Structure 1
Amino acid sequence: MNQPAHAGGHAPPSGVPTAQAPKRWSLRSRVAMLAALCVAGAVALVSIGAYVTVRGNLYDQVDSALVARASSVLNDRKVMETGGEQIPGYLFQLADVRFDLVDARGDSLLRHPGGRPPVDVPEISVAAGASSQSIRTDGGSDMRVLSVPYEYADGVALVVAQSLDDTRRSLGALAVVLFVIGGSGIVVAALAGTAVARGGLRPVERLTAATERVANTGDLRPIPVSGDDELARLTHSFNTMLAAVADAQQRQRQLVADAGHELRTPLTSLRTNLELLLAAGRSDAPELAEQDREEIENDIRAQLDELTQLIGDLSLLARADNPHAVQERVDLVEVVERALDRARRRAGDTRFDVTLQPWILAGDPNVLERAVLNLLDNAVKFSSEGGTVRVRLQAVGDGSAVLQVADSGPGIAQADLPHVFDRFYRSSEARALPGSGLGLAIVKQAAERHGGAVWAANAPEGGAVFSLRVPGAPGG
């Protein structure tokens, strides 16, 4: 029996748990843990250093005390007799230590009820004269044992031992104190790290909330900024990005709205003319005069040309908004000459007065050629019959060059000068002429895309002058 197929692969068997990705700690937890670990490492190093130093000092004190007592015994000339042996009387004043006199075989030369100190190979070596001194810690009795040669008899060693119980208790108390203080420091560091992470990451949380808000609602309001640290600069950058996105959306909406408005008129006219032709083709309709049919067909061709130009201009504007533009070495003189060749073919009896200086820049030659061609076509459109279009390209001395295109027309009205580069803007004189109202907008966008600018003015001798400035360097 065939089993039903599952899209994207086989479904896991029922009752079998699926593997889940391990949850990662939040950034706040990681900051707090990092602070605690850093403090723990520092506390551990300091504690180990303090413990080792104190332990060494305490052992040194025990050793120094044993050496001092042994020296006192050896320098004491008072002799007492005990069990037939003459020994210094100072030995019996060592009440808090264990002592003994041992020979080279390790046997004691004293008879007293006190406990003997530990005697092993090091002490026997001193008694036999093989070593000048021995000091060690006896693990069995937990005592510090010192042995030195006994000056009053040959082959005898004085052995002095002191318990390390007090030293061990002091070291144990120190270890407890270091552990408590170190543990408290780690806890405080973790709490402080959490507090610092909470306060320091608050701007990041705001950025996260803003990102989620933008993704869910499209709300591009800026985020409040406080302070001047790195996170504040990050917030400023994020707000700048939001403003750029909002501006792009606004320009996109405006472009769509303007395009819809501009397309409505030619489409309506085109539809009307097509309906007239279709209606005239019916068998019961009156015959359409040949002249009327020709006028309608010419109108349709003109409207199709207008739609084609408008769609092409819109596509060019959309491509010009692409941030990943092609950048290459461009000879601006070659670009202008190619645009002039195209403009002359449709300029009729309009003449061109051209003066060009070599200029090189980095950019997109196709976009620049279209911008120059739009300036030339605009100048031809507004020039009088048989007029001259003046084209000048020259360096201006600030690392940029200016291309000027001047027509021989009536010029631009003062009320229209601030708006001539707006999308779909057409002056009252231009509305009677063909065009989409996007040509000069394309020029402005091309100039800004190449780090330049464009402006319009009226020439003193008459006519309009459009100037396109671009950065670069003189050509060789």
Structure 2
Amino acid sequence: MRHVPWRRSARSGQRPEGRWPRRRLRTRLTLAASAAVAVVVVGVCAAAFLVIRHQLLHQLDLHLTQSARLAAQQYRREPPGVVQGECRYLAAPACTQLVPVRPGDDPAQPYLLPVTGATRQVAAGTRGPYYSELRLADHRARMLTTPLNAGRALQVAVRADTVDQGVRQAAGLLAAVGAAGVILAGVLGSWVSRTGLAPVARLTATAERITATRDARHRIELPTGRARGDDEITRLAASFNTMLGELEKSVTAQRRLVADASHELRTPLTALRTNADLLIRSGRLTEAQRERAATALGRQLREVTVLVNDLIELAREEEPDPLVEEVRLASVVAHGVDSARGHWPNVSFRLRIAPDADTGTVSGVPARLSRLLSSLLDNAAKFSPPDRPVEVTLERTAGCLVLAIRDHGPGIAAEDLPYVFDRFYRARTARALPGSGLGLAMARQIARAHHADLTAEHAPGGGALLRLRIPDSAAPDGLSQVSYAG
């Protein structure tokens, strides 16, 4: 088993047709992850800027409120007019002035802070305190207008450019942080895509390696121990390894089939060629020799024909067969036994069908079931002595139809029992008999396609017992689908 290391595969992608080429999965994942992190970073920085700006303005308003409270206590008895600060230049910490309700009570000197109708309403008590923005001496200022006592309003203004400077500094700092966050998002996005798609890259590398070398023994190294995960990518890699294992088994089976077939065909083809050469020189042979050569040639042709037909049947292991129908198994068994009696006239066949199994049906292909039965009967007749019958029994047991075929021959040796269904396997006692060793292998293949179980065992008292257990479609737990997927 060969393992492919975790590495990035070199792919030469072709640009699809269209104006905008479709990007690779890793690029799309990188862009998606980077965009998601970048949006979060920019959003956090924007929210932080708004919070900082709000807090600075709030602190300025608190300062105005505190200054107004102190001015109200200090200038409660002062006449209307400017009472503190050179408001034009905002040299004092706060510029303060008193405004009466009636314009006629205004002082002779002009106000330095703007006085509007809203200011008179606050002085009259018909409007509550409010904040306003203004510019004084080319500086932005913030003013609080609040009621005092005896029909007067108190106006307090402070410079706001220091707040603006703090907001600008915060904006610059957050912009730098946001830019660094976006760059970091790109780096993290690339790392996430590279790490997340590493198993996918391994899958691709393994597939490309198999394509290049046609070797299905490659596997993907899975995490072990504590590092072993149960995520989707790990399960995908495990499934891919399982698929490769099945592919390797299939390829190995095909190669073994070809090798075994070539080995089995070599001997009869050599004999055919020899007998054909003899017949070509028939002028030098006697009549008896020509007769023996023609008989041997015909027998060998039949053997080769049977072998080739069996190979074709085995090669159809994955071929779907749509001719599935409800088959009365008792009729197939009775017809198969009659055909076997004609094919093996020197062998006696004894058939017994239980009454409850006579009406049992299975879902399958009649021709394939007949081929299965003929393979089992031919195998039993081949080893059965002439004076002992081949016993065929059909019964119904636990929702299944059970077909048992027993012969009274030498039986199956213990060392041969695990291999009787292997292709081209022939026991030591059967190597002198005709056959290719494909009959039982083909029988098991057909049985598995019908969800049936075919077993071989020693029969009590000697001989071999082949037992086929196939689901009865009329039973509640019977299966109704035939699969040729192997």
Q: Does TM, normalized by the shorter one, top 0.5? A: yes
Query: What per-residue deviation string (whole Å, max 9, x for no partner) do you get for residues 18-58 of structure 1?
Result: 97875554444444433332222222332233322332333
Say yes or no: does 1:439 pair with 2:439. Answer: yes
Residues in 2 aligned to 1:23 and 1:309: alpha-carbon distance in whole angstroms: 58
* Partners of 1:101 and 1:110 within 8 A in 2: no
1:167 to 163, 168, 179: 163
Q: What is the root-mean-square deviation of aligned Cα atoms in Å?
A: 3.8
Which one-letter code corresponds to 1:458 in the other structure? H
Matched with 2:52 is: 54
Count of residue pairs brought into register by the alignment: 444
Instruction: Give the deviation of 1:90 after TM superposition.
Output: 6.0
Q: Label 1:343 to 1:187 Cα distance change in 2 as closer, same or farther (>3 A).
A: same
Matched with 1:83 is: none
Say yes or no: does 1:117 pair with 2:103. Answer: no
Q: Label 1:294 to 1:117 Cα distance change in 2 as closer, same or farther (>3 A).
A: farther
Which one-letter code corresponds to 1:439 in the other structure? G
Alignment of structure 1 residues 337-348 onto 2, 5 Å: 337-348=334-345
* Partners of 1:136 and 1:146 within 8 A in 2: yes
Identity rate, percent: 36
* Partners of 1:351 and 1:386 within 8 A in 2: no
Q: Label 1:165 to 1:269 Cα distance change in 2 as closer, same or farther (>3 A).
A: same
Query: What per-residue deviation string (whole Å, max 9, x for no partner) do you get for residues 409-455 of structure 1?
Result: 33234443333222122335434443222101112223344455433
Instruction: Give the deviation of 1:240 after TM superposition.
Output: 2.1
Alignment of structure 1 residues 261-276 onto 2, 5 Å: 261-276=263-278
SS at match of 2:273: helix
Say yes or no: does 1:385 pair with 2:381. Answer: no
Matched with 1:184 is: 180
Say yes or no: does 1:316 pair with 2:313. Answer: yes
Residues in 2 aligned to 1:159 and 1:364: alpha-carbon distance in whole angstroms: 103
Matched with 2:483 is: none
Greater CA deviation, 49-58 or 331-340? 331-340
Say yes or no: does 1:96 pair with 2:98. Answer: no
* Partners of 1:73 and 1:88 within 8 A in 2: no
Matched with 1:44 is: 42
Instruction: Give the deviation of 1:465 after TM superposition.
Output: 0.8
* Partners of 1:79 and 1:88 within 8 A in 2: no
Say yes or no: does 1:468 pair with 2:468. Answer: yes
Matched with 1:9 is: none
Which one-letter code corresponds to 2:249 in the other structure? D
Q: Label 1:78 to 1:162 Cα distance change in 2 as closer, same or farther (>3 A).
A: closer
Say yes or no: does 1:63 pair with 2:65. Answer: no
Matched with 2:142 is: 144
* Partners of 1:44 and 1:182 within 8 A in 2: yes
* Partners of 2:402 and 2:467 within 8 A in 1: yes
Q: Label 1:47 to 1:329 Cα distance change in 2 as closer, same or farther (>3 A).
A: farther
Instruction: Give the deviation of 1:373 after TM superposition.
Output: 2.2
Matched with 1:300 is: 297
Greater CA deviation, 241-250 or 93-102? 93-102
Instruction: Give the deviation of 1:271 after TM superposition.
Output: 2.7
Matched with 1:420 is: 420
Alignment of structure 1 residues 282-301 onto 2, 5 Å: 285-286=283-284, 289=287, 291-301=288-298
Q: Label 1:226 to 1:434 Cα distance change in 2 as closer, same or farther (>3 A).
A: same
Matched with 2:77 is: 79
Residues in 2 aligned to 1:363 and 1:78: alpha-carbon distance in whole angstroms: 109
Which one-letter code corresponds to 1:215 in the other structure? T
1:350 to 345, 348, 351: 348
* Partners of 2:81 and 2:109 within 8 A in 1: no
Residues in 1 aligned to 2:49 and 2:104: alpha-carbon distance in whole angstroms: 38
Residues in 2 aligned to 1:107 and 1:442: alpha-carbon distance in whole angstroms: 121
Residues in 1 aligned to 2:109 and 2:339: alpha-carbon distance in whole angstroms: 129
Which is bigger in relative contact order (C-alpha 8 A, separation at least 6)?
2
Residues in 2 aligned to 1:75 and 1:117: alpha-carbon distance in whole angstroms: 20
* Partners of 2:81 and 2:98 within 8 A in 1: no
Instruction: Give the deviation of 1:308 after TM superposition.
Output: 2.0
Query: What per-residue deviation string (whole Å, max 9, x for no partner) do you get for residues 189-235 of structure 1?
Result: 43334334434433333322221111111232323322422333333
Matched with 1:7 is: none
Matched with 2:199 is: 203
Residues in 1 aligned to 2:365 and 2:104: alpha-carbon distance in whole angstroms: 106
Residues in 2 aligned to 1:448 and 1:106: alpha-carbon distance in whole angstroms: 109
Residues in 2 aligned to 1:19 and 1:383: alpha-carbon distance in whole angstroms: 70
SS at match of 2:411: coil
SS at match of 1:422: coil
Say yes or no: does 1:370 pair with 2:368. Answer: no
SS at match of 2:262: helix
Residues in 2 aligned to 1:261 and 1:206: alpha-carbon distance in whole angstroms: 39
Instruction: Give the deviation of 1:471 after TM superposition.
Output: 5.1
Residues in 2 aligned to 1:76 and 1:373: alpha-carbon distance in whole angstroms: 122
* Partners of 1:101 and 1:158 within 8 A in 2: yes
Instruction: Give the deviation of 1:386 after TM superposition.
Output: 5.5
* Partners of 2:353 and 2:393 within 8 A in 1: yes
Q: Label 1:418 to 1:205 Cα distance change in 2 as closer, same or farther (>3 A).
A: same
* Partners of 2:394 and 2:401 within 8 A in 1: yes
Instruction: Give the deviation of 1:329 after TM superposition.
Output: 6.3
Structure 1 runs not aligned, ≥5 long? 1-17, 81-85
Residues in 2 aligned to 1:327 and 1:109: alpha-carbon distance in whole angstroms: 112
